[in-house]
Amino acid sequence: MAIPVIDFSKLNGQDRTNTLAQIANACEEWGFFQLVNHGIAEEMLERVKKVSSEFYKVEREENFKNSEVANLLNETGDEKMENVDWEDVITLTDDSQWPFKTPGFQETMKEYRCELKKLAEKVMEVMDENLGLPEGYIKKAFDGTGEGENTAFFGTKVSHYPPCPNPEKVTGLRAHTDAGGVILLFQDDEVGGLQILKDGQWIDVQPLKNTIVINTGDQIEVLSNGRYKSTWHRVLSTVDGNRLSVASFYNPSLDATIAPAAQLVEKGRKEGTYPKFVFGDYMSVYVQQKFMPKEPRFQAVRAM
């Protein structure tokens, strides 16, 4: 089994209906799919790879070698390490302090984030159409009550999974579902490790050059009243290869109220399968329970 690979450019031609159906099926059956011909220039993606790899070497590698997780690996004998990840990560937002030592990093990543945000909004428009929702429904739900045009949160995690001498002892990133909305991953095209849980089996997300991997988070599951599910996924550590992962996530603003779309709730029922809640409340639960089953998170926020 392999996750669906979809040609996004075909939305604009005579294959539009079929492409919409492919995306709908991917969202319903997989929660993950890969986009080719997504509109992000290959030249830009090559620059992202270059500056991200240089950034790790210049600004992060030495610190990781001396990090707590690296030291723990040497001290724990044959025991499996719990509650830690073999990952070096920074998060970029419009108002965060950005790395400055690596030439071209800031300029390239700001340009890339701008393009990825546009792609995320196009993907959400397709979801609106496939779910039978009004145009712009998901984006408006994510914007919440804040002022201004863009109040949804858009962040980018730049992660590296360095070579691990004992990959059987520690996971690159433990299994979880994503808390937010739409996640757009530019993953390493040489070093694998990303897996999703499908029908009780862990399946590799095969590296494909310059594709964008899309996955749906918990908030899309709620808005769609369970038609689209957030999918469990993890990253394995490997003995060789320094895996690069650039994950951008389009999330609701913290004050956004999230609930199943009324159009997707069965007639005669007052509410959907999922609770109505403020996203900030959900995040306060999620940060404590990220690597635990998601259903209790929904129950916890229902009780708030």
pLDDT in tens, the chain (304 residues): 899 999 999 999 899 999 999 999 999 999 999 999 999 999 999 999 999 999 999 999 999 999 999 988 877 767 889 899 999 999 999 988 899 999 999 999 999 999 999 999 999 999 999 999 999 999 999 998 766 555 899 999 999 999 999 999 999 999 999 999 999 999 999 999 999 999 999 999 999 999 999 999 999 999 999 999 999 999 999 999 899 999 999 999 999 999 999 999 986 566 678 999 999 999 999 999 999 999 999 999 987 7
Angle at which helix 42-55 crosses helix 105-131, to 10 degrees, equals 130
Q: How far apart are CA 155 and CA 120, in angstroms?
A: 12
Residues whose CB is less than 8 angstroms from the CB of residue 174 and which lie 6 or more positions away in sequence, other chains included: 85, 234, 291
Q: Which two tokens stand for residue 32?
A: 């993950």
Separation in Å, CA 242 to CA 50, 125, 187, 210, 237: 13, 35, 12, 17, 9
